[in-house]
Structure 1
Amino acid sequence: MCHSCVAGGVHSGASRRSFARFLAAGAGLTVLAACTPEAPAGVALSSSSLAPSATSASPSPVAVPSVESTTAAAEPPAQVPASPSGALPRQFSLTDPASPWLVVNKHRPLAPADYLPADLVQPNVPLAVSGEAALLNSTTAAAAEAMFAAAALDGVSMTLASGYRSYGTQVATYNGYVAARGLADADTASARPGYSEHQTGWSFDIGDGGGACGFQPCFADQPAAVWAKANGHRFGFVVRYPWMFHPITGYYYEPWHLRYIGVETAADMANRGISTVEEYFGVEAAPGYP
Protein backbone atom coordinates (compact mmCIF):
# COMPACT_ATOMS: atom_id res chain seq x y z
CA MET A 1 0.00 0.00 0.00
CA CYS A 2 1.07 3.45 -0.42
CA HIS A 3 -0.01 4.29 3.14
CA SER A 4 1.86 7.57 3.10
CA CYS A 5 4.26 6.64 0.35
CA VAL A 6 7.26 8.89 0.14
CA ALA A 7 8.89 7.35 -2.92
CA GLY A 8 11.36 9.73 -4.44
CA GLY A 9 10.61 12.14 -1.61
CA VAL A 10 7.27 13.17 -3.15
CA HIS A 11 4.02 12.62 -1.25
CA SER A 12 1.02 11.50 -3.23
CA GLY A 13 -1.54 12.77 -0.72
CA ALA A 14 -2.54 15.80 -2.79
CA SER A 15 -3.52 13.73 -5.78
CA ARG A 16 -5.50 11.36 -3.58
CA ARG A 17 -7.30 14.22 -1.87
CA SER A 18 -8.23 15.88 -5.11
CA PHE A 19 -9.44 12.54 -6.48
CA ALA A 20 -11.56 11.94 -3.39
CA ARG A 21 -13.12 15.40 -3.73
CA PHE A 22 -13.78 14.68 -7.40
CA LEU A 23 -15.70 11.58 -6.48
CA ALA A 24 -17.49 13.23 -3.59
CA ALA A 25 -18.79 15.80 -6.02
CA GLY A 26 -20.68 13.01 -7.72
CA ALA A 27 -18.57 12.72 -10.85
CA GLY A 28 -18.44 9.33 -12.52
CA LEU A 29 -15.32 7.23 -12.87
CA THR A 30 -14.61 4.30 -15.13
CA VAL A 31 -13.92 1.25 -12.99
CA LEU A 32 -10.18 0.80 -12.59
CA ALA A 33 -8.45 -2.33 -13.78
CA ALA A 34 -6.27 -3.72 -11.23
CA CYS A 35 3.63 -2.95 -10.08
CA THR A 36 11.98 -5.59 -13.93
CA PRO A 37 14.84 -7.11 -14.10
CA GLU A 38 15.98 -8.68 -17.34
CA ALA A 39 15.97 -12.47 -17.60
CA PRO A 40 19.46 -13.95 -17.01
CA ALA A 41 21.64 -13.74 -20.10
CA GLY A 42 21.82 -16.90 -22.18
CA VAL A 43 18.81 -18.51 -20.55
CA ALA A 44 15.71 -19.07 -22.65
CA LEU A 45 12.76 -18.55 -20.36
CA SER A 46 9.05 -18.05 -20.66
CA SER A 47 7.30 -15.99 -18.05
CA SER A 48 5.41 -19.05 -16.81
CA SER A 49 8.67 -20.91 -16.16
CA LEU A 50 9.74 -18.24 -13.70
CA ALA A 51 6.91 -18.78 -11.26
CA PRO A 52 8.40 -20.15 -8.03
CA SER A 53 7.12 -23.36 -6.51
CA ALA A 54 4.96 -23.21 -3.40
CA THR A 55 7.13 -22.02 -0.56
CA SER A 56 6.98 -21.37 3.13
CA ALA A 57 8.58 -18.30 4.58
CA SER A 58 11.52 -17.96 6.88
CA PRO A 59 10.53 -17.31 9.58
CA SER A 60 0.50 10.37 20.74
CA PRO A 61 -0.07 10.09 17.02
CA VAL A 62 -0.11 6.93 15.01
CA ALA A 63 0.10 6.24 11.15
CA VAL A 64 -2.50 4.81 8.55
CA PRO A 65 -3.10 3.82 4.87
CA SER A 66 -3.80 5.85 1.79
CA VAL A 67 -7.04 6.76 0.08
CA GLU A 68 -7.49 5.86 -3.51
CA SER A 69 -10.56 5.56 -5.65
CA THR A 70 -14.18 5.00 -4.64
CA THR A 71 -17.39 5.00 -6.59
CA ALA A 72 -21.06 5.52 -6.08
CA ALA A 73 -21.62 1.83 -6.78
CA ALA A 74 -22.94 -0.29 -3.94
CA GLU A 75 -20.22 -1.26 -1.48
CA PRO A 76 -19.62 -4.91 -0.64
CA PRO A 77 -20.75 -6.07 2.78
CA ALA A 78 -18.20 -5.89 5.57
CA GLN A 79 -19.08 -9.41 6.77
CA VAL A 80 -16.27 -11.93 6.47
CA PRO A 81 -17.09 -15.59 5.76
CA ALA A 82 -15.64 -18.55 7.58
CA SER A 83 -12.03 -19.21 6.63
CA PRO A 84 -11.49 -21.57 3.66
CA SER A 85 -7.76 -21.76 4.36
CA GLY A 86 -8.07 -25.06 6.19
CA ALA A 87 -7.96 -26.75 2.79
CA LEU A 88 -4.27 -25.93 2.53
CA PRO A 89 -1.79 -28.54 3.79
CA ARG A 90 0.39 -25.97 5.56
CA GLN A 91 -0.63 -23.44 8.18
CA PHE A 92 1.22 -20.33 9.38
CA SER A 93 0.59 -17.81 12.12
CA LEU A 94 -1.79 -14.92 11.43
CA THR A 95 -0.16 -12.77 14.12
CA ASP A 96 3.59 -13.41 13.88
CA PRO A 97 5.17 -10.61 11.80
CA ALA A 98 7.67 -13.14 10.42
CA SER A 99 4.83 -15.27 9.00
CA PRO A 100 3.72 -14.96 5.35
CA TRP A 101 0.13 -15.35 6.60
CA LEU A 102 0.33 -12.37 8.95
CA VAL A 103 -2.83 -10.26 8.78
CA VAL A 104 -2.20 -6.66 9.78
CA ASN A 105 -4.95 -4.08 9.44
CA LYS A 106 -6.68 -1.37 11.48
CA HIS A 107 -7.86 -3.96 14.01
CA ARG A 108 -4.68 -6.03 14.02
CA PRO A 109 -1.49 -4.09 14.87
CA LEU A 110 1.96 -5.56 14.70
CA ALA A 111 3.36 -7.11 17.86
CA PRO A 112 5.80 -5.73 18.74
CA ALA A 113 4.73 -2.39 17.29
CA ASP A 114 8.32 -1.55 16.36
CA TYR A 115 8.96 -4.90 14.69
CA LEU A 116 12.12 -5.05 12.56
CA PRO A 117 12.53 -7.91 10.04
CA ALA A 118 15.76 -9.83 10.62
CA ASP A 119 16.44 -10.62 6.96
CA LEU A 120 16.03 -7.39 4.98
CA VAL A 121 17.77 -7.45 1.59
CA GLN A 122 17.70 -5.37 -1.57
CA PRO A 123 16.16 -7.36 -4.44
CA ASN A 124 17.78 -7.37 -7.86
CA VAL A 125 14.99 -5.43 -9.58
CA PRO A 126 14.74 -1.94 -11.09
CA LEU A 127 14.44 0.56 -8.24
CA ALA A 128 12.65 3.89 -8.09
CA VAL A 129 13.79 4.40 -4.48
CA SER A 130 16.89 3.98 -2.34
CA GLY A 131 17.75 3.36 1.29
CA GLU A 132 15.36 1.37 3.47
CA ALA A 133 12.54 1.77 0.92
CA ALA A 134 14.53 -0.46 -1.48
CA LEU A 135 14.54 -3.38 0.99
CA LEU A 136 12.26 -6.41 1.41
CA ASN A 137 12.51 -9.50 3.55
CA SER A 138 14.50 -12.23 1.83
CA THR A 139 11.49 -14.40 0.88
CA THR A 140 9.59 -11.50 -0.65
CA ALA A 141 12.73 -10.28 -2.42
CA ALA A 142 13.29 -13.64 -4.14
CA ALA A 143 9.66 -13.82 -5.24
CA ALA A 144 9.79 -10.23 -6.49
CA GLU A 145 12.88 -10.96 -8.59
CA ALA A 146 11.09 -13.89 -10.26
CA MET A 147 7.95 -11.83 -10.85
CA PHE A 148 9.74 -8.79 -12.26
CA ALA A 149 11.75 -11.02 -14.61
CA ALA A 150 8.60 -12.75 -15.84
CA ALA A 151 6.92 -9.39 -16.44
CA ALA A 152 9.96 -8.25 -18.43
CA LEU A 153 9.74 -11.35 -20.63
CA ASP A 154 6.16 -10.36 -21.37
CA GLY A 155 7.30 -6.87 -22.33
CA VAL A 156 6.08 -5.21 -19.12
CA SER A 157 8.43 -2.89 -17.25
CA MET A 158 7.88 -2.29 -13.55
CA THR A 159 9.88 -0.80 -10.70
CA LEU A 160 10.03 -1.20 -6.95
CA ALA A 161 8.51 2.09 -5.84
CA SER A 162 8.34 1.61 -2.07
CA GLY A 163 9.38 -1.38 0.02
CA TYR A 164 10.27 -1.63 3.69
CA ARG A 165 9.34 1.26 5.96
CA SER A 166 10.64 1.31 9.53
CA TYR A 167 8.53 2.16 12.55
CA GLY A 168 10.45 5.42 12.98
CA THR A 169 9.85 6.41 9.36
CA GLN A 170 6.14 5.66 9.71
CA VAL A 171 5.95 7.77 12.89
CA ALA A 172 7.49 10.76 11.13
CA THR A 173 5.32 10.31 8.04
CA TYR A 174 2.08 9.90 9.93
CA ASN A 175 2.77 12.81 12.28
CA GLY A 176 3.45 14.97 9.25
CA TYR A 177 -0.01 14.12 7.93
CA VAL A 178 -1.59 14.86 11.32
CA ALA A 179 0.12 18.25 11.49
CA ALA A 180 -0.91 19.16 7.96
CA ARG A 181 -4.41 17.71 7.78
CA GLY A 182 -5.65 16.79 11.25
CA LEU A 183 -6.03 13.39 12.87
CA ALA A 184 -9.22 12.26 11.12
CA ASP A 185 -7.95 13.11 7.65
CA ALA A 186 -4.54 11.62 8.40
CA ASP A 187 -6.22 8.34 9.22
CA THR A 188 -7.57 8.16 5.68
CA ALA A 189 -4.19 8.78 4.07
CA SER A 190 -1.48 7.10 6.14
CA ALA A 191 -1.17 3.98 8.30
CA ARG A 192 -0.63 4.51 11.98
CA PRO A 193 2.80 3.40 13.17
CA GLY A 194 2.71 -0.30 13.97
CA TYR A 195 -0.19 -0.91 11.58
CA SER A 196 1.62 -0.80 8.23
CA GLU A 197 2.35 -3.86 6.11
CA HIS A 198 5.41 -2.06 4.75
CA GLN A 199 7.06 -2.50 8.16
CA THR A 200 6.97 -6.29 7.81
CA GLY A 201 8.98 -6.62 4.60
CA TRP A 202 6.15 -8.72 3.10
CA SER A 203 4.73 -5.85 1.03
CA PHE A 204 5.88 -3.34 -1.54
CA ASP A 205 4.51 -0.85 -4.03
CA ILE A 206 5.24 -1.16 -7.72
CA GLY A 207 5.58 1.55 -10.33
CA ASP A 208 5.40 1.58 -14.10
CA GLY A 209 8.80 1.45 -15.76
CA GLY A 210 8.02 4.71 -17.55
CA GLY A 211 6.97 6.42 -14.32
CA ALA A 212 3.37 6.95 -15.38
CA CYS A 213 0.61 7.52 -12.81
CA GLY A 214 2.70 6.71 -9.74
CA PHE A 215 0.46 6.27 -6.68
CA GLN A 216 -2.52 7.68 -8.59
CA PRO A 217 -5.83 6.00 -9.52
CA CYS A 218 -4.82 5.99 -13.20
CA PHE A 219 -2.00 3.57 -12.30
CA ALA A 220 -4.60 0.77 -12.41
CA ASP A 221 -4.64 1.07 -16.20
CA GLN A 222 -0.85 0.95 -16.62
CA PRO A 223 0.69 -2.28 -17.98
CA ALA A 224 2.57 -2.97 -14.74
CA ALA A 225 -0.61 -2.89 -12.66
CA VAL A 226 -2.66 -4.90 -15.15
CA TRP A 227 0.05 -7.56 -15.42
CA ALA A 228 0.61 -7.79 -11.65
CA LYS A 229 -3.10 -8.14 -10.96
CA ALA A 230 -3.42 -10.96 -13.49
CA ASN A 231 -0.15 -12.78 -12.74
CA GLY A 232 1.01 -11.88 -9.23
CA HIS A 233 -0.54 -14.98 -7.66
CA ARG A 234 1.85 -17.18 -9.67
CA PHE A 235 4.66 -15.72 -7.58
CA GLY A 236 2.84 -15.59 -4.25
CA PHE A 237 1.47 -12.03 -4.43
CA VAL A 238 -1.99 -10.53 -4.09
CA VAL A 239 -3.22 -6.99 -4.62
CA ARG A 240 -3.78 -6.38 -0.93
CA TYR A 241 -6.33 -3.56 -1.22
CA PRO A 242 -8.61 -4.46 -4.13
CA TRP A 243 -11.28 -2.37 -5.80
CA MET A 244 -14.38 -1.72 -3.66
CA PHE A 245 -13.34 -3.85 -0.68
CA HIS A 246 -12.41 -0.96 1.62
CA PRO A 247 -15.26 -1.84 4.02
CA ILE A 248 -13.27 -5.03 4.74
CA THR A 249 -9.63 -3.97 4.33
CA GLY A 250 -9.97 -0.42 5.65
CA TYR A 251 -8.21 1.03 2.59
CA TYR A 252 -9.31 2.19 -0.82
CA TYR A 253 -8.06 0.54 -4.00
CA GLU A 254 -4.29 0.48 -4.29
CA PRO A 255 -3.38 -1.34 -7.52
CA TRP A 256 0.32 -0.76 -6.78
CA HIS A 257 0.40 -2.42 -3.33
CA LEU A 258 1.38 -6.10 -3.49
CA ARG A 259 1.56 -8.48 -0.55
CA TYR A 260 3.43 -11.79 -0.47
CA ILE A 261 1.42 -14.63 1.12
CA GLY A 262 3.02 -17.62 -0.63
CA VAL A 263 2.43 -19.21 -4.04
CA GLU A 264 0.06 -21.91 -2.83
CA THR A 265 -2.04 -19.47 -0.82
CA ALA A 266 -2.19 -16.77 -3.48
CA ALA A 267 -3.13 -19.35 -6.12
CA ASP A 268 -5.83 -20.76 -3.86
CA MET A 269 -7.28 -17.29 -3.31
CA ALA A 270 -7.29 -16.68 -7.07
CA ASN A 271 -8.89 -20.05 -7.85
CA ARG A 272 -11.61 -19.50 -5.25
CA GLY A 273 -12.24 -15.93 -6.34
CA ILE A 274 -11.51 -14.58 -2.84
CA SER A 275 -10.39 -10.96 -2.93
CA THR A 276 -9.06 -10.13 0.54
CA VAL A 277 -6.87 -11.87 3.09
CA GLU A 278 -9.43 -10.99 5.75
CA GLU A 279 -12.01 -13.10 3.92
CA TYR A 280 -9.57 -15.87 3.10
CA PHE A 281 -8.32 -16.31 6.66
CA GLY A 282 -11.70 -15.65 8.25
CA VAL A 283 -10.72 -12.64 10.36
CA GLU A 284 -13.03 -9.71 11.05
CA ALA A 285 -13.35 -6.78 8.69
CA ALA A 286 -11.39 -3.68 9.71
CA PRO A 287 -12.95 -0.61 8.12
CA GLY A 288 -11.56 1.70 10.81
CA TYR A 289 -9.55 1.80 14.02
CA PRO A 290 -11.39 0.54 17.14
Structure 2
Amino acid sequence: MTVLAACTPDAPAQVAPSSSSPALSPTSPSPAAAAASESPTAAVEPAAQAPVAPSPAAALPRQFSLTEPASPWLVVNKYRPLVPADYVPADLVQPNIPVTVSGEAALLNSTTAAAAEAMFVAAARDGVSITLASGYRSYGTQVTTYNGYVAARGQADADTASARPGYSEHQTGWSFDIGDGGGACGFQPCFADQPAAAWVKANGHRFGFIVRYPWMFHPITGYYYEPWHLRYIGVEAATDMANRGISTLEEYFGVEAAPGYP
Protein backbone atom coordinates (compact mmCIF):
# COMPACT_ATOMS: atom_id res chain seq x y z
CA MET A 1 0.00 0.00 0.00
CA THR A 2 1.27 3.50 -0.79
CA VAL A 3 1.53 5.61 2.32
CA LEU A 4 1.28 9.31 3.00
CA ALA A 5 3.79 11.10 5.17
CA ALA A 6 5.23 14.44 6.02
CA CYS A 7 8.16 14.36 8.41
CA THR A 8 10.11 11.95 10.55
CA PRO A 9 11.46 13.15 13.91
CA ASP A 10 13.85 11.06 15.92
CA ALA A 11 12.21 8.34 17.98
CA PRO A 12 11.26 9.78 21.37
CA ALA A 13 12.83 8.50 24.54
CA GLN A 14 10.56 6.73 27.01
CA VAL A 15 9.71 8.27 30.36
CA ALA A 16 8.87 6.66 33.65
CA PRO A 17 5.25 5.42 33.85
CA SER A 18 2.99 7.81 35.71
CA SER A 19 -0.50 7.25 34.34
CA SER A 20 -3.00 5.57 36.62
CA SER A 21 -5.97 5.52 34.28
CA PRO A 22 -6.87 2.44 32.25
CA ALA A 23 -6.49 2.62 28.48
CA LEU A 24 -9.60 3.78 26.66
CA SER A 25 -10.45 3.03 23.05
CA PRO A 26 -11.25 5.88 20.67
CA THR A 27 -14.70 5.94 19.14
CA SER A 28 -13.38 4.91 15.72
CA PRO A 29 -11.79 1.47 15.26
CA SER A 30 -8.08 1.22 15.96
CA PRO A 31 -5.99 0.51 12.84
CA ALA A 32 -3.98 -2.67 12.60
CA ALA A 33 -0.74 -1.66 10.91
CA ALA A 34 1.58 1.30 10.49
CA ALA A 35 2.21 3.66 7.59
CA ALA A 36 4.22 6.91 7.53
CA SER A 37 2.49 10.29 7.91
CA GLU A 38 2.94 13.85 9.29
CA SER A 39 4.76 12.09 12.12
CA PRO A 40 7.00 9.05 11.61
CA THR A 41 4.30 6.39 11.50
CA ALA A 42 0.57 6.41 11.05
CA ALA A 43 -2.35 4.08 10.86
CA VAL A 44 -3.02 2.18 7.67
CA GLU A 45 -6.45 2.92 6.31
CA PRO A 46 -8.42 1.52 3.41
CA ALA A 47 -7.34 2.59 -0.06
CA ALA A 48 -7.95 6.29 -0.60
CA GLN A 49 -11.15 7.25 -2.36
CA ALA A 50 -11.57 10.28 -4.57
CA PRO A 51 -11.09 13.38 -2.40
CA VAL A 52 -14.16 15.25 -1.35
CA ALA A 53 -14.06 19.02 -1.74
CA PRO A 54 -15.30 20.32 1.62
CA SER A 55 -18.17 22.76 1.64
CA PRO A 56 -18.24 25.61 4.16
CA ALA A 57 -19.45 24.32 7.51
CA ALA A 58 -20.64 27.69 8.77
CA ALA A 59 -17.60 28.24 10.94
CA LEU A 60 -17.49 30.97 13.54
CA PRO A 61 -17.35 34.49 12.10
CA ARG A 62 -13.91 34.97 10.60
CA GLN A 63 -11.63 36.20 13.36
CA PHE A 64 -8.21 35.18 12.07
CA SER A 65 -6.45 34.66 8.75
CA LEU A 66 -6.39 31.22 7.12
CA THR A 67 -3.10 31.99 5.35
CA GLU A 68 -0.98 34.00 7.81
CA PRO A 69 1.46 31.63 9.59
CA ALA A 70 1.10 33.51 12.89
CA SER A 71 -2.67 32.98 12.83
CA PRO A 72 -4.19 30.20 14.99
CA TRP A 73 -6.64 29.52 12.15
CA LEU A 74 -3.91 28.95 9.56
CA VAL A 75 -4.68 26.03 7.25
CA VAL A 76 -1.48 24.46 5.92
CA ASN A 77 -1.63 21.28 3.87
CA LYS A 78 -0.32 19.87 0.58
CA TYR A 79 -2.21 22.53 -1.39
CA ARG A 80 -1.49 25.38 1.02
CA PRO A 81 2.23 25.90 1.78
CA LEU A 82 3.55 28.31 4.34
CA VAL A 83 4.29 31.83 3.08
CA PRO A 84 7.11 32.55 3.50
CA ALA A 85 8.28 28.96 3.11
CA ASP A 86 11.06 29.47 5.68
CA TYR A 87 8.75 31.00 8.27
CA VAL A 88 10.01 31.01 11.86
CA PRO A 89 7.62 31.82 14.74
CA ALA A 90 8.76 34.92 16.61
CA ASP A 91 7.75 33.63 20.04
CA LEU A 92 9.10 30.10 20.38
CA VAL A 93 9.35 28.93 24.00
CA GLN A 94 9.80 25.66 25.84
CA PRO A 95 6.60 24.87 27.74
CA ASN A 96 6.71 23.72 31.34
CA ILE A 97 5.52 20.19 30.57
CA PRO A 98 7.14 16.73 30.47
CA VAL A 99 9.20 16.37 27.28
CA THR A 100 11.00 13.45 25.67
CA VAL A 101 12.91 15.59 23.15
CA SER A 102 15.40 18.45 23.26
CA GLY A 103 16.48 21.40 21.15
CA GLU A 104 14.00 22.93 18.72
CA ALA A 105 11.71 19.89 18.98
CA ALA A 106 10.90 20.92 22.57
CA LEU A 107 9.63 24.35 21.50
CA LEU A 108 6.14 25.69 20.69
CA ASN A 109 4.86 29.18 20.04
CA SER A 110 3.92 30.95 23.26
CA THR A 111 0.14 30.63 22.80
CA THR A 112 0.30 26.90 22.10
CA ALA A 113 2.75 26.41 24.96
CA ALA A 114 0.44 28.08 27.49
CA ALA A 115 -2.53 26.03 26.30
CA ALA A 116 -0.47 22.83 26.43
CA GLU A 117 0.60 23.57 30.00
CA ALA A 118 -3.02 23.97 31.09
CA MET A 119 -4.07 20.83 29.24
CA PHE A 120 -1.28 18.67 30.68
CA VAL A 121 -2.15 19.81 34.22
CA ALA A 122 -5.82 18.94 33.69
CA ALA A 123 -4.92 15.53 32.30
CA ALA A 124 -2.67 14.87 35.29
CA ARG A 125 -5.56 15.68 37.63
CA ASP A 126 -7.49 12.94 35.84
CA GLY A 127 -4.60 10.52 36.33
CA VAL A 128 -3.37 10.72 32.73
CA SER A 129 0.27 11.49 31.98
CA ILE A 130 1.09 13.14 28.63
CA THR A 131 4.49 14.03 27.19
CA LEU A 132 5.62 16.36 24.44
CA ALA A 133 7.15 14.02 21.85
CA SER A 134 7.84 16.42 18.96
CA GLY A 135 7.17 20.14 18.68
CA TYR A 136 8.62 22.78 16.39
CA ARG A 137 10.61 21.77 13.30
CA SER A 138 12.46 24.43 11.36
CA TYR A 139 12.56 24.76 7.59
CA GLY A 140 16.21 23.69 7.70
CA THR A 141 15.36 20.53 9.63
CA GLN A 142 12.68 19.70 7.10
CA VAL A 143 15.09 20.28 4.19
CA THR A 144 17.53 17.80 5.70
CA THR A 145 14.82 15.24 6.39
CA TYR A 146 13.19 15.52 2.99
CA ASN A 147 16.47 15.50 1.04
CA GLY A 148 17.51 12.35 2.86
CA TYR A 149 14.38 10.62 1.61
CA VAL A 150 14.93 11.89 -1.95
CA ALA A 151 18.51 10.59 -1.95
CA ALA A 152 17.42 7.20 -0.66
CA ARG A 153 14.18 6.70 -2.58
CA GLY A 154 13.78 9.28 -5.32
CA GLN A 155 11.42 12.24 -5.19
CA ALA A 156 8.20 10.42 -6.06
CA ASP A 157 8.59 8.01 -3.19
CA ALA A 158 10.00 10.70 -0.90
CA ASP A 159 6.73 12.58 -1.23
CA THR A 160 4.98 9.63 0.39
CA ALA A 161 7.38 9.60 3.34
CA SER A 162 8.27 13.21 4.18
CA ALA A 163 6.63 16.62 3.86
CA ARG A 164 8.25 18.97 1.42
CA PRO A 165 9.97 21.84 3.23
CA GLY A 166 7.49 24.60 3.96
CA TYR A 167 4.46 22.29 4.09
CA SER A 168 4.61 20.94 7.66
CA GLU A 169 2.35 22.13 10.47
CA HIS A 170 5.20 21.56 12.89
CA GLN A 171 7.03 24.55 11.38
CA THR A 172 4.26 26.90 12.55
CA GLY A 173 4.60 26.29 16.27
CA TRP A 174 0.85 25.61 16.42
CA SER A 175 1.22 21.81 16.36
CA PHE A 176 2.96 19.12 18.35
CA ASP A 177 2.99 15.37 18.83
CA ILE A 178 2.25 13.81 22.18
CA GLY A 179 3.34 10.61 23.88
CA ASP A 180 1.79 8.65 26.71
CA GLY A 181 3.52 8.99 30.06
CA GLY A 182 3.84 5.24 30.24
CA GLY A 183 5.99 5.29 27.11
CA ALA A 184 3.85 2.80 25.20
CA CYS A 185 3.13 2.85 21.47
CA GLY A 186 4.94 6.08 20.59
CA PHE A 187 4.13 7.03 16.97
CA GLN A 188 2.48 3.65 16.45
CA PRO A 189 -1.13 2.74 15.60
CA CYS A 190 -1.66 1.29 19.08
CA PHE A 191 -1.17 4.81 20.49
CA ALA A 192 -4.86 5.41 19.74
CA ASP A 193 -5.68 3.06 22.63
CA GLN A 194 -3.36 4.69 25.17
CA PRO A 195 -4.76 6.88 27.99
CA ALA A 196 -3.11 10.05 26.65
CA ALA A 197 -4.66 9.66 23.19
CA ALA A 198 -8.12 8.88 24.55
CA TRP A 199 -7.98 11.82 26.97
CA VAL A 200 -6.93 14.45 24.42
CA LYS A 201 -9.48 13.19 21.90
CA ALA A 202 -12.23 13.71 24.47
CA ASN A 203 -10.90 16.84 26.17
CA GLY A 204 -8.45 18.63 23.89
CA HIS A 205 -11.05 21.08 22.59
CA ARG A 206 -11.46 22.50 26.10
CA PHE A 207 -7.92 23.89 25.72
CA GLY A 208 -8.10 24.81 22.03
CA PHE A 209 -6.73 21.62 20.46
CA ILE A 210 -7.98 19.26 17.78
CA VAL A 211 -6.58 15.97 16.50
CA ARG A 212 -5.54 17.36 13.13
CA TYR A 213 -5.44 14.12 11.12
CA PRO A 214 -8.45 12.04 12.17
CA TRP A 215 -9.30 8.48 11.21
CA MET A 216 -10.60 8.00 7.65
CA PHE A 217 -10.21 11.63 6.54
CA HIS A 218 -6.94 11.28 4.59
CA PRO A 219 -8.67 12.09 1.24
CA ILE A 220 -9.28 15.55 2.74
CA THR A 221 -6.25 16.18 4.96
CA GLY A 222 -3.65 14.34 2.88
CA TYR A 223 -2.45 12.32 5.89
CA TYR A 224 -3.46 9.08 7.55
CA TYR A 225 -4.75 8.90 11.11
CA GLU A 226 -2.43 10.43 13.71
CA PRO A 227 -3.94 10.31 17.20
CA TRP A 228 -0.74 11.91 18.54
CA HIS A 229 -0.71 15.05 16.32
CA LEU A 230 -2.48 17.99 17.99
CA ARG A 231 -3.16 21.40 16.53
CA TYR A 232 -4.08 24.56 18.42
CA ILE A 233 -6.90 26.65 16.90
CA GLY A 234 -8.31 28.28 20.04
CA VAL A 235 -10.94 27.14 22.54
CA GLU A 236 -13.90 28.71 20.75
CA ALA A 237 -13.22 27.14 17.35
CA ALA A 238 -12.10 23.77 18.73
CA THR A 239 -15.19 23.54 20.91
CA ASP A 240 -17.43 24.55 18.00
CA MET A 241 -15.92 21.80 15.86
CA ALA A 242 -16.39 19.24 18.65
CA ASN A 243 -19.97 20.23 19.37
CA ARG A 244 -20.92 20.06 15.70
CA GLY A 245 -19.02 16.90 14.88
CA ILE A 246 -16.75 18.51 12.28
CA SER A 247 -13.51 16.58 11.91
CA THR A 248 -11.11 18.62 9.75
CA LEU A 249 -10.03 22.22 9.34
CA GLU A 250 -10.62 21.89 5.61
CA GLU A 251 -14.28 21.12 6.21
CA TYR A 252 -14.70 23.65 8.98
CA PHE A 253 -13.34 26.55 6.96
CA GLY A 254 -14.59 25.30 3.59
CA VAL A 255 -11.19 25.11 1.91
CA GLU A 256 -10.19 22.62 -0.79
CA ALA A 257 -9.31 19.05 0.12
CA ALA A 258 -5.57 18.33 -0.23
CA PRO A 259 -4.90 14.62 -0.78
CA GLY A 260 -1.57 15.26 -2.56
CA TYR A 261 0.68 17.97 -3.92
CA PRO A 262 -0.75 19.77 -6.99
Q: TM-score, normalised by structure 2?
A: 0.86
**Who is 1:147 aligned against?**
119
**Who is 1:6 aligned against?**
9
1:32 corresponds to which of 27, 30, 33 = 30
**Who is 2:254 aligned against?**
282
Aligned-partner SS, 1:258: strand
2:81 corresponds to 1:81: no
**Distance in 2 of aligned mates of 1:180 and 1:74:** 25
Bigger helix fraction = 1
The 5 Å alignment of 1:152-163 reads 152-163=124-135
| Alignment gaps of 5+ in structure 1 | 11-29, 34-63
**Distance in 1 of aligned mates of 2:178 and 2:12:** 16
2:256 corresponds to 1:258: no
Q: What is the CA-CA distance between 1:9 and the residue it aligns to?
A: 7.1
Letter in 2 for 1:5: T
Aligned-partner SS, 2:178: strand
2:46 corresponds to 1:69: no
Letter in 1 for 2:8: C
Cα shift readout 1:82-130 (whole Å, capped 9, x = no counterpart)? 2411xx2551000000000000000000000000000000000000000
Cα shift readout 1:140-194 (whole Å, capped 9, x = no counterpart)? 0000000011111111111000000000000001111222222222212211100
Letter in 2 for 1:4: C
Further displaced range: 75-84 or 206-215: 75-84
**Who is 1:42 aligned against?**
none
CA separation of 1:203 and 1:190: change in aligned 2, threshold 3 A = same
**Who is 1:108 aligned against?**
80
**Who is 2:25 aligned against?**
none
**Who is 1:117 aligned against?**
89
**Distance in 2 of aligned mates of 1:149 and 1:9:** 21
Letter in 2 for 1:196: S
| Alignment gaps of 5+ in structure 2 | 14-27, 32-36
In the TM superposition, structure 1's runs of 4+ consecutive aligned residues that sit over 6 Å from their partners are none
CA separation of 1:258 and 1:76: change in aligned 2, threshold 3 A = farther
Q: What is the CA-CA distance between 1:31 and the residue it aligns to?
A: 2.0
Q: TM-score, normalised by structure 1?
A: 0.78
**Distance in 2 of aligned mates of 1:113 and 1:212:** 35
CA contact under 8 A between 2:139 and 2:171: conserved in structure 1? yes
Letter in 1 for 2:38: P
2:204 corresponds to 1:232: yes
CA contact under 8 A between 2:5 and 2:159: conserved in structure 1? no
2:180 corresponds to 1:208: yes
2:160 corresponds to 1:188: yes
Q: What is the CA-CA distance between 1:74 and the residue it aligns to?
A: 8.2
CA separation of 1:274 and 1:76: change in aligned 2, threshold 3 A = farther
CA contact under 8 A between 2:5 and 2:160: conserved in structure 1? no
CA contact under 8 A between 1:8 and 1:128: conserved in structure 2? no
**Distance in 1 of aligned mates of 2:11 and 2:49:** 34
